[in-house]
Structure 1
Amino acid sequence: MNAFFVALSFLTRFPVPRRTDPEGWPRSTLYYPVAGLVIGFALILFDLLVAGFFPSAVRGVLLLGVWVGLTGGLHLDGLMDTADGFGSNRGPERTLEIMKDSRVGAMGVLAALFLLLLKAAVLASAPAPLWVPLLVAPTVGRWSILLAIRFYPYRREDGIGLGLREGLTGPRLAGATLITLGVSVAALGGWGLLFPVGAALLVGWTARVVIRRIGGFTGDVYGALVEGTEAWMLLLWLWLEVVDP
């Protein structure tokens, strides 16, 4: 369980046993989708106890607020840093410097606002019970990081990506993929396969843009990828509900 607790403590703000073994860090990648699944169950519980009793617009905002709170804004921070760097229209080295700056610029604020508004709007437009997107989006979102770690270069000479890359073996990626596929198919049957496939396409497109611009992924870009994948999963789910209610 140590590797699972390491993944949960890194990706969420859920309390875990204090004595987690650092050696579980490389092995924790297997449990990234599980951490997303835990977030999803927590959101469903909050929706049943609180959010579901409010009008749809308020419900969407409440769910999104808890969603961000459960992660401590970790991935949202990466999104803002990435938007600041890529929005600066500077060279690779200067872009990396801007991304590392703790201060948030206009592009970061605008990117965060747009993404939060988009997620809240999708949740508020729910034509069906929300348990499907609340389970699938966080799970697939954290699985998408593993694809980027495994198949695409890491740009910085130090950072979280190096240790994770070494620990993400083929069997661990396969296990995480099976978990993700299982959640998606259990939620929507055959249509559920569209979610991992859609996420993989987004990872590939993101990698092309990132490698061309700065030469590889960074921790901030991983965070931005999670946020972008979650939003894409919500939009895909909403589209499926519209074409096949």
Structure 2
Amino acid sequence: MVDSSGKKENRLCIVSLIGKSTLFEQQCNKSWKLNQLIQMPSFKEHSIIDNEDDFEYYYDHLNNTIYVHLRSFHDTYQLLHLIDNINDDTSIKNFAQLWENKQANFIKKSLICFLLSHIIIISHSSHTFDLNYLRFFRIIELLRHKTKPAILETIRSLNLFKETDIYMNDGRLCVPRALFIFENHHHKGTDIPGGGDRDDDQKLINMAHNLEDIIFNALRCSYIISNQM
């Protein structure tokens, strides 16, 4: 990282990836996006034996960056594994309770990402914004405020930060930036007679701008972001 004077700073950056993988990634998960970002196969892209929700980490010592991947039942291969277990295991009788437990575990682990990360990448399995994330963001914010006293006490015990820095970030190590990644756009150049690559690129740009407007308006109308944020 470089400061305003042009000198290189030895500051740590944490980038987290949460969200969903596509239906077509039945034997893979969304971690390939991080592998593509750091240009090396640091995360396992294929299904693994342990199908529990968990974190994967990779430390890029050259850029002093920690990449975090949250595996969850939102990854297609884990969801398929869960369905297979439900079909085979007669002890699992209440699917609604199981799903609720999975959701709760996902939110708890996502909260850790929001408390520690500088950048959070939220993966979508399609080209449309999932409105369920509005409820997800509200729950995360509610949990963050409820756990704030315990978090502040833990941060103080580390003796790594100034008191003003702790309060400036409202009990977080930093205020994270959220980036949304979308997949499987429905437009293809072959679908449009006479459509060329330039037309395809422009349509993708227009689609991206439309998504930005939709997300911003949805977050504003839900009071998840405000003029002060």
**What TM-score does the superposition give when structure 1 sets the normalisation length?**
0.30
Structure richer in helix, relative to its length? 1
Structure richer in strand, relative to its length? 2
Q: Which structure has the higher relative contact order (CA within 8 Å, separation 6+)?
A: 1
Larger Rg: 2
**What TM-score does the superposition give when structure 2 sets the normalisation length?**
0.32
